[in-house]
Amino acid sequence: MIVAFSVSPLGAGDSVHDAVAAAVRVVRDSGLPNRTSSMFTEIEGEWNEVFEVVKRAAEAVGAFAPRVSLVLKADVRPGHTGELAGKLDRLERALADGL
Per-residue pLDDT of the chain (99 residues; tens, 9 = 90+): 999 999 999 987 777 899 999 999 999 999 999 999 999 999 999 999 999 999 999 999 999 999 999 999 999 999 899 989 988 888 999 999 987
**The predicted structure's pLDDT at residue 14:** 72
Buried b (16+ CB within 10 A) or exposed e, 20-54: bebbbebbeebebebeeeeeebbbbbeeeebbebb
For domain 2-96, say whether CATH 3.30.70.930 is its number: yes
**The predicted structure's pLDDT at residue 58:** 97
**The predicted structure's pLDDT at residue 60:** 97
Domain map (residue ranges) of the chain: 2-96
